[in-house]
């Protein structure tokens, strides 16, 4: 992993004969010029609604038109959608060409670009088709955040808060201060600290069989909320990944007090912080019946039931907690009462 724009520019200059850039409409305008080299590029429309197999087909056709070979490097320049989909498409094209990730959103920097998981949504289910496949290189350049809106930054802050909640209380406290004060400068070091927490979990358990699952705190319910929102809204009006995960963390925080020993005081503390996200949304909070089809399809489930990762205290995660439907209903009711 490289952590400055000069390393990226040098890499692009050195490999310009092999690089093809995949961007979305926004990152084409805002981020591509910072590469400083005229490398071949193409873009897809922005947004979660385009993270699908149709876009992959478009990417594969473009790669073929550009005459891509096994020497080609697909440089994925964008948020989590571009990084996830680009890495997946590259892994399938001609049985696999190299990909390089240049995450340009905060969420993609601290989460989506780290850990080798990639994929696209399918039949309305989040990341249902995909693979584990590490990119050749990842460049974390905070300069890209200068053009990212605060609304988009919130999605990244939510994942950073989650990293603190599952593994490091002091990281949680530092991120919380920034999250609550809109115009605070985000130090590159805090981004790198957050990545280190994710990386630490991934390095111990690349295939997601044990401790890595703790990174899913808030995601079982969060993914179901996100998928439901994608179904009932226009693609660009649906709840974002970060907001959905924030809602999921409140519900799974509530479940943590019932099942994992999280104190009511700590639940209150987390809820006050995340409530900032809840108050901004216009959708009704979905019911258990709304979410049931997505919860039952969750990739983490086994015969034992709906698998959540919970927290026992702020800074300590626990995985493989099988939760009864009645508790999820109670958690969703707790969330609905906050609105």
Among 21, 22, 62, 79, binds ligand NAD (CB under 6 A): 79
Verify binding: residue 78, ligand NAD, rule CB under 6 A.
yes
Listed in sequence order, the residues at least 6 apart from 185 whose beta carbon sits closer than 8 Å to its beta carbon are none
Give the CB-nearest residue to ligand NAD: 80
Verify binding: residue 147, ligand NAD, rule CB under 6 A.
yes
Verify binding: residue 293, ligand NAD, rule CB under 6 A.
no
CA separation for the pair 39, 298 (Å, rounded): 39
CA separation for the pair 104, 77 (Å, rounded): 7
- Tell me the closest approach of the beta carbon of residue 226 to ligand NAD, in angstroms: 8
Stretch that binds ligand NAD, among 108-116, 132-140, 173-181, 322-330 (CB under 6 A): 108-116
Among 75, 90, 97, 112, binds ligand NAD (CB under 6 A): 112
Distances in whole angstroms, Cα of residue 177 to Cα of each of 14, 160, 167, 185, 327: 40, 12, 18, 11, 31
Give the residue with the Cβ less far from ligand NAD, 115 or 331: 115
CA separation for the pair 118, 128 (Å, rounded): 10
Q: Is the dihedral of CA 270, 274, 276, 281 positive or negative?
A: negative
- Tell me the closest approach of the beta carbon of residue 216 to ligand NAD, in angstroms: 10
Distances in whole angstroms, Cα of residue 53 to Cα of each of 13, 86, 143, 300: 31, 11, 31, 22
CA separation for the pair 268, 254 (Å, rounded): 9
Phi-psi region at 181: left, alpha or beta (left = phi > 0; alpha = psi -120 to 50): beta
Verify binding: residue 306, ligand NAD, rule CB under 6 A.
no
Verify binding: residue 24, ligand NAD, rule CB under 6 A.
yes
Verify binding: residue 47, ligand NAD, rule CB under 6 A.
yes
The token duo for 189 is 């070091």
Verify binding: residue 111, ligand NAD, rule CB under 6 A.
yes
Phi-psi region at 131: left, alpha or beta (left = phi > 0; alpha = psi -120 to 50): beta
Verify binding: residue 162, ligand NAD, rule CB under 6 A.
no
Verify binding: residue 155, ligand NAD, rule CB under 6 A.
yes
Give the residue with the Cβ less far from ligand NAD, 167 or 267: 167
Residues engaged in binding ligand NAD (CB under 6 A): 24, 26-27, 30-31, 46-48, 51, 78-82, 84, 104-105, 107-108, 111-112, 115, 117-118, 127, 144, 147-148, 152, 155, 241
């Amino acid at each position: 992993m490289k952590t400055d724009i000069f390393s990226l520019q040098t890499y692009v200059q050195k490999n310009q004969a092999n690089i093809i850039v995949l961007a979305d409409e926004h990152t084409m305008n805002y981020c591509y010029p910072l590469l400083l080299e005229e490398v071949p590029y193409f873009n897809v429309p922005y947004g979660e609604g385009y993270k699908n197999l149709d876009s992959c087909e478009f990417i594969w056709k473009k790669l073929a038109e550009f005459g891509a070979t096994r020497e080609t490097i697909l440089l994925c320049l964008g948020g989590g959608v571009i990084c996830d989909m680009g890495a997946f498409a590259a892994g399938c094209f001609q049985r696999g060409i190299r990909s390089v990730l240049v995450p340009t959103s905060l969420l993609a920097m601290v989460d989506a670009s780290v850990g080798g998981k990639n994929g696209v949504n399918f039949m309305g289910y989040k990341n249902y088709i995909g693979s584990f496949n590490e990119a050749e290189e990842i460049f974390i350049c905070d300069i890209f955040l200068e053009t990212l809106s605060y609304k988009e930054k919130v999605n990244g802050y939510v994942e950073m808060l989650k990293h603190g909640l599952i593994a490091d209380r002091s990281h949680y406290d530092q991120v919380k201060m920034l999250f609550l004060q809109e115009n605070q400068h985000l130090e590159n070091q805090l981004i790198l600290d957050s990545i280190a927490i994710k990386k630490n979990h991934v390095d111990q358990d690349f295939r997601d069989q044990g401790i890595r699952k703790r990174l899913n705190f808030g995601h079982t319910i969060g993914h179901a909320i996100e998928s439901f929102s994608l179904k009932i809204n226009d693609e660009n009006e649906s709840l974002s990944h970060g907001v959905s995960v924030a809602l999921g963390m409140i519900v799974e925080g509530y479940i943590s007090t019932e099942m994992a020993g999280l104190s009511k005081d700590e639940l209150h503390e987390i809820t006050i912080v995340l409530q900032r996200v809840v108050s901004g949304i216009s959708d009704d909070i979905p019911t258990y019946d709304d979410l049931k089809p997505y919860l039952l399809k969750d990739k983490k489930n086994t015969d034992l039931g709906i698998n959540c990762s919970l927290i026992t205290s702020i800074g300590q995660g626990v995985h493989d907690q099988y939760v009864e439907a009645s508790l999820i209903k109670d958690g969703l009711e707790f969330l609905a009462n906050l609105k």
